[in-house]
Amino acid sequence: MRIKTSLFLCFLILSSGLLARQELRFQVLAGDYDRLDCPVSVDLSSADLELNNHQFQLYQLDGKKEIPVASQLESGRSHRLWFILNGELRKGESRRYVYKASEPVASDSKIVLAKTHGGVKLVLNEQPILHYQSEEVYPPEGVDPLFKRSGFIHPLWSPGGEELTRIQAPDHYHHYGIWGPWTKTHIKGREVDFWNLLKGQGTVRFANFLSEVEGPVYSGFSALQEHIDFGAVGADQVALTEVLDVCAWNIQREGKAWLVDYSSSLNSLLDSGILLDAYRYGGGIGFRATEKWTKDNSSVLTSEGKDRLAADGTKARWCIVEGESAPGRSGILFMSHPTNREYPEPMRVWPVDANGGRGDMYFQFCPIRHNDWVIEHGKNYSQKYRMLVFDGQLTEAEAEQYWQAFAFPPQVSFE
């Protein structure tokens, strides 16, 4: 009898362990901030789920209801589950979820990574989000071929299909949509300019794709870019390598907004390293806006309340750049992460009399605006940015909510 009882107890223990490995319950806590359409990650490395033997589905718990939620499993050194906390979650509130062995519910939307002539495009429900140019683009006929470049984002579209970026503007043929080369730099005391291409001192080029990912929650790619020094003794040399990670999140905001992460990691291959001189242009994330935007139909607003007249050279956590478009108004909320150098980050914003008084729009988070930056050999230096690309209007309160979710993501508590 004692043997049967022991066997029965062992069976119960094993059964309960099996159930525990097929289900995980947790809460997402808003914490001290109101949340709005933000990515959430759950570290599953210690959850002991049988991820290799079962299919899993995430559900939001609403009383006794289980509402399917699109999720995506990131595999690597540890398993991490990603999903979107859709809508608004007020400060101090929480939502409950269960991730359990179940037949997955097919998602009704997915961001597709499409190969194109010259690069890759991210597309949601047949609407293009952005295009990354991996092949070199030459300037128009009759313009110096030194202006050729690869490794940039163009076009960046609004959800309504408006092209928000511009390349090779006649006033600045070296401007390429969304990009971030360094301007005034020194290698062993010698000046190298990777920005002003006509100098013939350097450039930035795409080298190869390192990874690609596609799913219902996010899709993106990792690209290796090289900063080339033309003035090296002998052959051209790679002064800096840059791993650029671009990721678009499926926040499903009624077709009115995209959420895009733009992060880079720099490393110098040179024994001497490289000095990035303090200057009003360089690095970070630069944006040459559509030619439609001028001083008369566009605006700037920073997290510190600065408009276009006052923003240049100041620091901010985020900045809204918007203007007139076919959908009415469109814009980009640029967000800088607290781990970035010089955070809150200095900006370059063109004055209203730029380009002969037209007041064309240019914006940049510029980490070397006020101070030099020494990139030492063999060390990695990261910069993280997020863009909310929208049609219509974006309020200051909404901008702050999106930035808080980027800077301080919601916390997860296991039940």
Going by pLDDT thresholds of 50, 70 and 90, the confidence category of residue 254 is low
Buried b (16+ CB within 10 A) or exposed e, 224-254: ebbbbbbbbeeeebebbbbbbbbbbbbbbbe
Q: Which run of H or E residues covers position 398?
A: helix 396-407
Q: What is residue 21's predicted lDDT score, i.e. its pLDDT?
A: 67
- For 162-174, what is the mean pLDDT? 97
Average pLDDT of the segment spanning 316-325: 98
Above 90 in pLDDT, residue 323? yes
How many helices and strands in the chain, by DSSP H and E?
3, 31
pLDDT (average), residues 146-166:
97
Q: How large is the average pLDDT for residues 350-365?
A: 94
b/e code 346-375 from CB counts within 10 Å (16+ = b): bbbbbebebbeeebbbbbbbbbbbeeebeb
Q: What pLDDT, on a 0 to 100 scale, did the predictor assign at position 233? A: 78
Residues 194-208, mean pLDDT to the nearest whole number: 97
Residue 283 pLDDT > 90: yes
Residue 111: count other Cβ atoms within 10 Å of its Cβ.
Answer: 22
Q: Could you give the CA distance from residue 146 to residue 200 in angstroms, rounded to a whole number?
A: 7
Q: What is the pLDDT of residues 14-28, one digit of tens each?
A: 444 444 468 999 999
C-alpha to C-alpha distance for 199 and 192, rounded to whole angstroms: 9
If you average pLDDT over residues 359-378, what whole number do you get?
98
Q: How confident is the model at residue 373 (pLDDT cuts 50, 70, 90)?
A: very high
pLDDT surpassing 90 at residue 389 = yes
**pLDDT beyond 70 at 197:** yes
- 3-class DSSP state for residue 251? coil
Q: What is the pTM of this model?
A: 0.94
Asked whether residue 406 carries a pLDDT value surpassing 60, the answer given is yes
- Residue 7 clears pLDDT 60, i.e. is over it: no
Residue 291 has pLDDT above 50, yes or no: yes
Q: Is 177 left (phi over 0), alpha (psi -120 to 50) or beta?
A: left
Structural domains of the chain, ranges and CATH numbers in brackets: 2-105 (2.60.40.1180), 111-412 (2.70.98)
CA–CA dist 170, 168 (Å, integer): 6
Rounded average pLDDT over 337-362: 95
Compute the average pLDDT of residues 391-399.
96
Residue 103 has pLDDT above 70, yes or no: yes
Least confidently predicted of 104-108, 113-117, 337-341:
104-108
Tokens of 251: 């926040």
The answer to which of 77-91, 115-129, 195-209 has the lowest mean pLDDT is 77-91
- The more confidently predicted of residues 241 and 109 is 241
Please report which confidence band the pLDDT of residue 79 belongs to, taking 50, 70 and 90 as the band edges: confident
pLDDT of amino acid 182 = 97
Is the pLDDT reported for residue 84 higher than 50?
yes
Tokens of 317: 């956590």
As a whole number, the mean pLDDT across the chain is 93
